[in-house]
Structure 1
């Protein structure tokens, strides 16, 4: 009796090979690859890059401390507005010097001045409305909403990586909404106006300057991280020791503990790739 030799199995579905559709032979796993395109990180680089998260956390804590000073009467709205304006002018000039893009014809300094004047006029005009916006809402609810908004700012902030969760617009809107909630609890219209202006400086303008300095002067990141952390620590100690201790723990975890943990777990990464992956259509030019 002659046994007909079976043809070699091929990975196709358009012809009957006498086997079920889910059949595979011993050569199926020959195409398996592990950790394709895996990046290896160094502890020093991860610590420096994690400073961006610490900087944003420090900015939020400094804003909250400023609100507490305003509420207690320790800081006047006129002083906050003056100091904030001077720091904004300094940051604006520093951005132009470092970035070197002021020669663009699409926008001049006069256009920037018009935008600033328009923003200040609109903010001051809306301050009476914002001042009485949350009168019917309890203070505990306002504080809870502010906490969630600032957490949203931290979560969706653009830290220089690409991802579906990153959204500059959502992060900024969450921070401004939380700032408006706090500003509505201050005693006068001037307090509300100064707080809203300071929120724009902290959450809209300051991140732009940080990204510019990081792009052109990479070594400035480490200095900014420690400077902001030190100022925030001192400011929190003047308000509440518990808050300063919690900030210290959070800063240490973000800057040192989590990067060290990431490096230690890096050798255990084991992603497998093979013929079971989804097909990717490549554009051949």
Structure 2
């Protein structure tokens, strides 16, 4: 046969959209809650820093509120699954308490260093670095997708780096200590609780997401009404408009498969690697 020979039955094996996924709007909206949660976390963190820098929030008040919320979250974390996760990990409450005390003592001891760490760097540079780090935190955060770009460790480190940069611009070392501690709570502990709520009690997860978004919007409205409107538009676009666009675009997919596809070896070849 010539090189350009095509059998008459060549197109009979044509298949379209073999691996296309069918999405439901409610399911996509539910999954978008992770993105909304993280955007609100960044918003709450920046607002908290702004309130402390403006002298409208004392470090003692923030530390007390964070301590109470952490205790409530700790109890809720164990209550959601009846302690099954703790039993599987073999970690005791005494071990958790020791880790907390060590972290608090270590951070408090180094808070004067954190306060003076960036004295030689201009404030504009600090703000720019913090914005880039928080943006990177949002990009690399684990939203539940199996992708190479996901890196929980990198995402958390970028958020902590941003918190250290911003904390260094606060009035006293106590402010820096409370700010870094709050960053650990909202960027490390809060997502862990949300993931467990999402897996165990979806309705509770949706309710917490809505309340958290409303709280972030209310706090932002006290600083800038225009910013609150823009942020609300962003959240609505992510949670409502983007899922709709995804489902509509799925109808336009036209992937073709046939004899021209690359060969796939489905046989188990592990015996040849022995």
**TM-score > 0.5, shorter chain as reference:** yes
* Structure with larger Rg: 1
Match of 2:209 in 1: 225
**2:117 aligned with 1:133, yes or no?**
yes
> In 2 relative to 1, CA 19–257 (structure 1 residues): closer, same or farther, beyond 3 Å?
same
Q: What CA distance in whole angstroms lies between the structure 1 residues aligned with 2:113 and 2:262?
A: 54
Unaligned runs of 5+ in 1: 1-17
Listed one character per residue, the Cα deviations across residues 31-85 of structure 1 (whole Å, up to 9, x for unaligned) are 3321113211111221222121111101110000000000011111111111111
**2:181 aligned with 1:181, yes or no?**
no
- Quote how far apart the aligned CAs of 1:279 are: 3.1
Match of 1:7 in 2: none
Match of 2:249 in 1: 265
Match of 2:181 in 1: 197
Q: How many residues align?
A: 267
CA RMSD of aligned residues (A): 1.7
Matches within 5 A, 1:107-256: 107-256=91-240
Q: What CA distance in whole angstroms lies between the structure 1 residues aligned with 2:16 and 2:89?
A: 50
Match of 1:61 in 2: 43
TM-score (normalised: structure 1): 0.88
> In 2 relative to 1, CA 85–40 (structure 1 residues): closer, same or farther, beyond 3 Å?
same
Q: What CA distance in whole angstroms lies between the structure 1 residues aligned with 2:195 and 2:120?
A: 39
Q: What CA distance in whole angstroms lies between the structure 2 residues aligned with 1:281 and 1:183?
A: 55
Q: What CA distance in whole angstroms lies between the structure 1 residues aligned with 2:38 and 2:127?
A: 19
- Quote how far apart the aligned CAs of 1:24 are: 4.3
Q: What CA distance in whole angstroms lies between the structure 1 residues aligned with 2:65 and 2:201?
A: 25
> In 2 relative to 1, CA 89–271 (structure 1 residues): closer, same or farther, beyond 3 Å?
same
Correspondence for 1:42 among 5, 24, 37: 24
Match of 2:11 in 1: 29
- Quote how far apart the aligned CAs of 1:163 are: 1.0
- Quote how far apart the aligned CAs of 1:251 are: 0.8
